[in-house]
Amino acid sequence: MTIDSRTIRSIARDCGFELCGVASAEPPADFARFESWTAEGHAGDMRYLTDRRAEIRRDVRNLLAEAKSVICVGKLYNQRGSPAPPGCAVISRYAWGSDYHEILRAGLEKMVERLQEHARFEWKICVDTAPLLERTFARLAGLGWIGKNTCLINEPLGSWFFLGELITSLDLAPDSPPPDRCGTCTRCIDACPTRAFVPAGDSWAIDARRCIAYFTIELRGSIPEEFRAPMGMHVFGCDICQEVCPWNSRAPVTDSFEDVHHAPALEACAAMTEEEFREAFRHTALARPKYAGFLRNVAVAMGNSGLPRFRQSLERLAAHPDATVAEHARWALARIQESSTYSR
């Protein structure tokens, strides 16, 4: 039996994916761009992008020796949500519900079962954490272009997508990448509070060392002081560069993900014990920064709020046994004092 692109797309839709396309498993030319990006230090302290796993990204056959095609999928996660009220944390919308890794993997496993009704093949599922240039393969598979904000953008549907890949031994006809339609627009670049976007040849790249998402999720230890105030109320991630993108102005919404952790109250976050933190965010992306990193982020947001009511919470955090948490809480107390002085 054989399998064609139309069948693959139909199965992908049935398995909960709004986008689907096929790319060749041949090594992508974009690896040179990735090498240049890491050589410039733009990966920050994300060693999983620069250690031995970096070279694995050169060729997907390092992940599946028999690979001939990569089936790429996208799952919409855009949800309706009002702006975070004063005194509440800003959480990137992809983390409002359950961990997307588990949801995408389940959908891809279902795809494998359905596809093997038509053909037998070797396969490997990749969801975000695998050493794979997934946006590159998604672009080559026709899912969208990589915008100036470094997100994959689909012309009718926008950029609010999780990406997943099914590396296969199937010899499938590849799709074609769409044209870049960012044009002269620089809204994402202009809107970034920390100026995290940097020129990269004929395009743009993100310098993680200046990125709010990196500070709040990936960075362990102290956040550089110059970037704390521009972080605003962000406690986990940042969506600014997607929120201002014109291609997202009509992006569809989905009810596939529950809204559990949208805009939690900062006082409640600051009062969490480590056990409560683990229980509240088990099976969610919010567990990523770990307990101390989460409290560090909460302290910064409290300081940026300028609200005197947070002093008591911050005084408790300033006595926290974790030195990084305590240092950021002291910074936040000073910032609230400064705000109170200026408001008189």
Give the up-direction half-sphere exposure of residue 14: CA atoms within 13 A in the CB hemisphere: 13
74 close to 17: Cβ distance less than 8 angstroms: yes
Output 198-206 pairs: Cβ under 8 A, ≥24 positions apart: 198/42, 200/33, 200/36, 200/37, 201/33, 203/146, 203/148, 204/148, 204/149, 204/150, 205/37, 205/40, 205/42, 205/150, 206/42, 206/149, 206/150
Active-site amino acid positions? 128
114 token code pair: 């359905």
212 Cβ contact list (under 8 Å, min separation 6): 193, 194, 196, 227, 230, 231, 234, 237, 238, 240
138 token code pair: 């998604």
272 token code pair: 């969490």
DSSP 161: E
Task: Name the residue type at position 42.
Answer: H
